[in-house]
């Protein structure tokens, strides 16, 4: 039986974000995995919360998550302003490594869903080198199109038959969040949407230097590396985020919240 958890956090725009430490996030995921609970965890950056403020359907997906963590310095900063002074940014790639370390320690098995076969092969090699006792139950690279009902059922069956307790989902936002929401109750494991983490840890995509990550500038590094793909996204979403926060600071901000 699922234990009811009172979630502490606040709304950032229209999205509820959990205030949690690294240890709390990792242990909660591992505890759910130990019981094969069907849950999902989202990592929310500026793009996520702005999309949620523009789409009621996507807001419902994020707000329906069992845990929504602040992946993105501005989101973490927003939680600090709401009274959670110690809140750190919890990034997808870093969370993935910490959960893998805990899974290895507990003897839990994991599954990787997303990306392409070549990246998954490289990821397997690197993760086994880093975590030699880690149990990788399986990997799957679904096609880059809408899956049929039968394909969805087949992938879900493959994941469940593997015995995985934690499923890392690397489909990109918002696809991975929607996929996890649709499969809660079907996948007998906790699902964690980690975005580009597969590529970072496989070595197919370079991550920003640590000093940029620590100063909330990872988005700038990605923008410089992929200006054509990311220019519109960053310019639009960052501007909308700042503007909406400014409006709410004038006309009333969301109160500190608890969520059952």
- Confirm whether 256 is domain-assigned: no
**pLDDT value, residue 210:** 76
> pTM value?
0.87
Bridge partners for 169 per DSSP? 113, 193
Low pLDDT (below 50) residues in the chain = 254-256
- Confirm whether 128 is domain-assigned: yes
134 and 219 together in one domain? no
Bridge partners for 18 per DSSP? 9
Query: Are 13 and 75 spatial neighbours (Cβ–Cβ below 8 Å)?
Result: no
236 and 141 together in one domain? no
Task: Give the domain-ending residue among 170, 185, 202.
Answer: 202
124 and 224 together in one domain? no
All residues at 6 or more sequence positions from 236 whose CB lies less than 8 Å from its CB, including other chains: none
Domain that holds residue 185: 10-202
155 and 38 together in one domain? yes
Between CA 146 and CA 221 the distance in angstroms is 31
Q: Which residue is listed with tokens 């990109």?
A: 172
**pLDDT value, residue 256:** 45
Torsion 93-99-104-105 (CA) sign = positive
120 and 228 together in one domain? no
- Confirm whether 185 is domain-assigned: yes
71 and 173 together in one domain? yes
Q: 89: number of CA atoms within 13 Å, CB side?
A: 19
**pLDDT value, residue 240:** 74
114 and 240 together in one domain? no
All residues at 6 or more sequence positions from 29 whose CB lies less than 8 Å from its CB, including other chains: 41, 67, 99, 102, 166, 190, 192
- Domain containing 155 — which CATH number? 3.40.50
Residue 113's Cβ-count burial label (10 Å; 0-12, 13-18, 19+) is buried
Three-state DSSP class for residue 87:
coil
Query: Are 114 and 170 spatial neighbours (Cβ–Cβ below 8 Å)?
Result: yes
- Domain count along the chain: 2
Between CA 24 and CA 230 the distance in angstroms is 32
**pLDDT value, residue 31:** 98
Three-state DSSP class for residue 151:
helix
């Amino acid at each position: 039986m699922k234990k009811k958890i009172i979630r502490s956090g606040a709304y950032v725009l229209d999205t509820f974000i959990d205030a949690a430490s690294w240890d709390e996030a990792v242990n909660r995921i591992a505890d759910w995995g130990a019981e094969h609970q069907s849950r999902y965890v989202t990592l929310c950056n500026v793009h996520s919360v702005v999309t949620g403020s523009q789409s009621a359907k996507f807001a419902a997906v994020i707000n329906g998550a069992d845990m929504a963590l602040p992946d993105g310095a501005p989101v973490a900063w927003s939680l600090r302003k709401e009274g959670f002074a110690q809140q750190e940014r919890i990034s997808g790639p870093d969370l993935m490594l910490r959960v893998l370390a805990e899974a290895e320690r507990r003897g839990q098995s994991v599954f990787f869903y997303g990306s392409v076969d070549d990246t998954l092969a490289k990821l397997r090699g690197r993760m086994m080198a880093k975590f030699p006792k880690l149990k990788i139950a399986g990997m799957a690279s679904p096609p880059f199109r809408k899956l049929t009902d039968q394909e969805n059922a087949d992938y879900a069956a493959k994941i469940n038959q593997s015995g995985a307790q934690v499923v890392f989902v690397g489909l990109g936002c918002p696809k991975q969040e929607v996929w996890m929401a649709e499969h809660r109750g079907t996948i007998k494991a906790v699902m964690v949407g980690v975005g580009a983490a597969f590529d970072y840890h496989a070595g197919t995509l370079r991550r920003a230097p640590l000093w940029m990550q620590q100063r909330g500038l990872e988005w700038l590094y990605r923008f410089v590396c992929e200006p054509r793909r990311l220019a519109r996204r960053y310019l639009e979403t960052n501007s909308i985020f700042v503007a909406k926060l400014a409006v709410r600071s004038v006309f009333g901000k969301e109160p500190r919240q608890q969520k059952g």
